[in-house]
């Protein structure tokens, strides 16, 4: 039985073969390779790009030749392979290659090269080209490939996030059997996924919905604010980072993402973000947006209560030495959406607790008519770069995701619930 991912990739290739003309005609793609066993997959990517009409040049790190021959790359790309930092009569080759390309793709890219380019180091040709190219503001795509332990190294994750924050697109790693013999996350993304990301980057207007069927995902994040007066509010310690990681990851997987957030993030987002404040604001916005959505992921830390009345002017301590706030219960957003969702829509909630984590989450799953509940503990999840979660489905099955970076936890969650 063929899985959905394989079916999508087959449809993608069939549709590309049937297109009139060559979709990448006239596009110039500089393809970098670094020292990883995944280099053999890149040969197929070169074939796909040239078949679609692209001009391809390859630039490689010295260690790449340990895994693939120079003649192979030269034959597939019909172009010389660039490797020497200081080739004869070509002292500015890194500049000319950067100027030539419409898109720079590095696939595979190792932890070593990721760390170099994130730090501005330029001790080989591929790193020098990257440094020259990045200043042009033209698009970059990287496809990491490495052992799970290396991928989870906090310094490697920090460098990957630094590149993301500069607008570099990541073809996210996949889980499976690794060259080292381990089973885990770290495999280079499939060439079809990388190719699809190249198409979306260079010619999004040419991609029909048949080529890239997108499902819409609403993600909520941040702690809602319940106003006491014009300058004070009740809230919580949520930073919004978990929801942001989920939105980033879903977007990189090809979904149509909209983030409904109480937090305005400094980094530029490649998908739509809607800013809200209170729980009622969030509920109204979700009801409006969910009509056309396939998934709702409620990662926001929603306030259970709000002040019964909001003062029109700032409350002064001189008015009353002992201020009493009367609170009323907010509507339960996930429960409200659970009442109106169709059989084709799915809702995924979060349950944040300090005790009886799993029992509380299971009770919420049933009460809110959700498809999945993600249980996590407050001291692990709030104001940290890491998280540990338990994913619970309708049948009561529980999947434990061990403590890891929020980016990796987000990826594990989406692989499970989507």
Active-site pick, 180, 203, 249, 399: 180
203 catalytic, yes or no?
no
Reference 307, options 374, 230, 198; nearest CA is 230
Cβ–Cβ < 8 Å for 15, 211: yes
Residue 24: both structure tokens together = 């990448």
Distance CA 116, CA 134 (A): 14
Query: Beta-strand (E) ranges in 214-336?
Result: 216-221, 226-229, 232-234, 256-261, 272-275, 295-298, 305-307, 327-329
Cα–Cα distance between 212 and 167 in angstroms, integer? 22
52 three-state secondary structure? coil
Q: Which long-range contacts (CB under 8 A, 24 or more apart) does 47-52 make?
A: 47/76, 48/16, 48/191, 48/195, 49/24, 49/195, 49/198, 50/76, 50/77, 50/78, 51/22, 52/16, 52/22, 52/23, 52/24, 52/25
- Give catalytic residue positions: 180
């Amino acid at each position: 039985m063929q899985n959905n991912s394989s079916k999508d990739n087959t449809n993608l290739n069939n549709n590309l073969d049937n297109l009139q003309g060559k979709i990448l005609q006239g596009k110039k793609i500089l393809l970098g390779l670094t020292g990883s066993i995944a280099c053999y997959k890149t040969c197929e990517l070169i074939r796909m790009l040239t078949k679609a009409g692209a001009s391809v040049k390859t630039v490689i790190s010295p260690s790449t030749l340990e895994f693939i021959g120079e003649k192979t790359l030269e034959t597939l790309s019909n172009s010389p392979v660039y490797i020497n930092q200081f080739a004869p009569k070509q002292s500015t080759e890194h500049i000319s290659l950067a100027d030539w390309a419409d898109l720079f793709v590095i696939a595979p890219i190792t932890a070593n090269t990721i760390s170099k380019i994130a730090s501005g180091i330029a001790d080989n040709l591929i790193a020098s080209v990257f440094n020259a190219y990045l200043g042009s503001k033209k698009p970059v795509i990287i496809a990491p490939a490495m052992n799970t332990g290396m991928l989870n190294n906090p310094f490697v994750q920090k460098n990957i996030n630094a590149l993301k924050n500069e607008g570099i697109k990541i073809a996210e790693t996949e889980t499976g059997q690794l060259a080292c013999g381990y089973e885990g996350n770290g495999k280079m993304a499939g060439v079809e996924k990388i190719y699809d990301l190249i198409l979306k980057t260079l010619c999004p207007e040419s991609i029909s919905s048949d080529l890239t069927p997108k499902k819409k995902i609403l993600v909520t994040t941040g702690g809602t604010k319940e106003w006491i007066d014009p300058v004070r509010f009740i809230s919580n310690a949520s930073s919004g980072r978990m929801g942001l990681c989920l939105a980033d990851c879903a977007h990189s997987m090809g979904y149509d993402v909209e983030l409904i957030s109480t937090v305005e993030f400094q980094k530029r987002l490649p998908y739509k973000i809607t800013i809200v404040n209170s729980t009622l604001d969030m509920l109204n916005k979700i009801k409006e947006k969910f009509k056309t959505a396939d998934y709702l992921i409620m990662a926001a830390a929603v306030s259970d209560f709000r002040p019964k009345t909001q003062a029109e002017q700032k409350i002064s301590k001189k008015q009353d030495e002992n201020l009493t706030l009367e609170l009323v219960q907010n509507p339960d957003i996930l429960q409200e959406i659970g009442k109106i969702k169709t059989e084709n829509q799915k809702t995924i909630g979060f349950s944040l607790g300090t005790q009886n984590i799993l029992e509380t989450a299971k009770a919420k799953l049933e009460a809110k008519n959700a498809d999945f509940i993600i249980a996590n503990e407050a001291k692990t999840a709030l104001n940290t770069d890491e998280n540990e979660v338990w994913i619970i489905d309708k049948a009561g099955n529980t999947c434990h995701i061990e403590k890891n970076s929020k980016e990796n936890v987000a990826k594990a969650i989406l692989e499970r619930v989507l």
